[in-house]
Amino acid sequence: MRATMTILTILLVAVALAVAGFAIWVRIAPNDATYWHVDPAAAPDPSTPNFARVDRVTSLVPDQVAAAISSIAEAEGARRIAGDERHGTWIVRTRVMGYPDFISIRLQPEGEGTRVLAFSRSRFGHSDMGVNRARLRRWLGALPE
Q: How far is CA 10 from CA 3, 4, 7, 141, in A?
A: 11, 10, 5, 50
HSE, side-chain direction, 13 A CA sphere, residue 11: 6
Using CA atoms, how far apart are residues 81 and 51, in angstroms rounded to an integer?
Answer: 19
Number of other CB atoms surrounding residue 6 within 10 Å: 10
Residue 90: per-residue pLDDT: 97
pLDDT in single tens digits along all 145 residues of the chain = 788 889 999 999 999 999 999 888 888 889 999 999 999 988 876 666 678 888 999 999 999 999 999 999 999 999 999 999 999 999 999 888 888 999 999 999 999 999 999 999 998 877 788 889 999 999 999 898 8
Q: Which 3 state secondary structure label does DSSP give 58? A: strand
**CA torsion, points 141, 134, 114, 85, in degrees to nearest 10?**
110
Residue 48: per-residue pLDDT: 66
The ranges assigned to domains in the chain are 1-30, 33-141
18-54 pLDDT per residue, tens: 999 988 888 888 999 999 999 998 887 666 667 888 8
pTM of the model: 0.84
Average pLDDT taken over every residue of the chain: 90
Using CA atoms, how far apart are residues 100 and 117, in angstroms rounded to an integer?
Answer: 20
Question: Length of the chain in residues, anyone?
Answer: 145
> CATH classification of 33-141, choosing from 3.30.450.20, 2.120.10.30, 3.40.50.300, 3.30.310.80?
3.30.310.80
Residue 40: per-residue pLDDT: 93
Q: Which 3 state secondary structure label does DSSP give 121? A: strand
